Amino acid sequence: MKFIRNTYAFAIIILVVSVLVSCSRSNIYAPVYNKHNPVKTATPGLHIVRAGDTLYSIAWQNGQDYKLLAKWNNISWPYTIYAGQQLALTGHGLIKKKETRSPVQIKKNHTKQKIIKNTSTNYQKKLKLKWQWPISVKRLKNGTVKSGVILYGSPKELVRSSESGKVVYAGSGLKGYGNLLIIKHDDEYLTAYGYNRTLLVNEGDIVKKGQAIAEIGSDNEGRKALFFEMRRHGKAVSVVKYLPRLRG
């Protein structure tokens, strides 16, 4: 009988100790992470401006006309945008222009970091565009990104502008395109040149038709290749309908 009482008492002691230990740990929280349902960091229909973005590159990446993007977001020429700024990507998510309520707010707004301020486009005259291929094309195939084409060329070959225009994006911030250039030719047409090994021009430069703008790079299989795309009013068009017919 004494043995049973001792056993019972021991069990009570173990239970009490367990409760105290669990209580002492109740304020320790482990970080929670669900890899199957990660927290969304972007809102559909909105773009958060990052350093290196331009209005043109954002419009091009999302298949929109830069003029509409500027209109939807109340951005006037010269299309200055700021890091951290939210841009609506459709007309359904119009960004209302913020009203200035006090001189203090005006001063604060001027301290924002400018990441793009395009210079005047008054240099453009109404050109009759006559396109040329950016490299001596050995072979062509439809691109795997958007609806551009992959042009195969030669080692160390220079990439040349298909027409005169202004460089509105130069960088490697758009995933899948490597070192990318976007050139604005007039109010309708943009051309894009990706996979480049090196860039020979900078954002804001005015380039002439046939001017060397980059050195050809390589595709995933090591072949010398150039990603090339043409946009009209923000929408991709077939380059073979605009450029001279390839021989062979």
Give the pLDDT confidence of 128-141 residue by residue, as tens digits: 899 999 999 988 88
- Tell me which residue range forms the domain holding 103: 46-116
Measured in whole angstroms, the distance separating CA 165 from the mean position of its chain's CA atoms is: 21
**pLDDT for position 5:** 55
pLDDT at residue 13 is higher than 60: no
Would you say residue 123 lies in a domain? no
User: pTM of whole model > 0.85?
Assistant: no
- pLDDT of res. 76: 87
d(CA 127, CA 150): 27
Number of domains in the chain: 2
Residue 18 domain flag: no
Q: pLDDT digit string (tens) for 178-216?
A: 999 999 999 999 999 999 999 999 999 999 999 999 999
Confidence of residue 89 (pLDDT cuts 50, 70, 90): confident
Residue 163 lies in a domain: yes
Pairing state between β 189-196 and 179-184: antiparallel
- Neighbour-count burial for 88-121, b at 16+ CB within 10 Å, e otherwise: bbeeeeeeeeeeeeeeeeeeeeeeeeebbebeeb
Question: Which residue has better confidence, 45 or 15?
Answer: 45
- Mean pLDDT across the stretch 14-39? 39
pLDDT exceeds 70 at position 41: no
Q: Are 219 and 196 in contact (CB under 8 A)?
A: no
Residue 143 and residue 236 in one domain = yes
Provide the pLDDT for residue 7. 55
Peptide bond into 78 cis (omega under 30): yes
How far is Cα of residue 95 from the mean position of the Cα atoms in its chain? 20
Q: Give yes or no: residues 195 and 231 share one domain.
A: yes
**CA dist., res. 172 & res. 225, Å (int):** 16
Residue 189 within a domain: yes
**For the chain, percent of residues with pLDDT exceeding 90:** 39
Q: Output the domain CATH number for residue 75.
A: 3.10.350.10
pLDDT for position 183: 97
**30 or 221, greater pLDDT:** 221
The domain spanning residue 199 has which CATH number?
2.70.70.10
Each residue's pLDDT tens digit, 137-176: 988 887 544 568 999 999 999 999 999 999 999 999 888 8
Cα–Cα distance list, 234 to 1, 66, 96, 184, 192 (Å): 91, 7, 23, 11, 12
Residue 6: inside a domain: no
More confident residue, 17 or 30: 17
- Quote the pLDDT of residue 79: 86
Reference 226, options 135, 132, 130; nearest CA is 135
pLDDT of 14: 57
Residue 39 lies inside a defined structural domain of this protein: no
12 domain residue, yes or no: no
Higher-scoring residue by pLDDT: 20, 226: 226
Say if residue 3's pLDDT is above 60. no
pLDDT given at position 81: 86
Whether residue 235 sits in one domain with residue 151? yes
Query: Is 143 in the same domain as 216?
Result: yes
145 and 64 co-located in one domain? no
Residues 189 and 222 in one domain: yes
Chain-centroid distance of CA 114 in Å reads 17
Average pLDDT over the chain reads 76
**pLDDT surpasses 60 at 104:** no
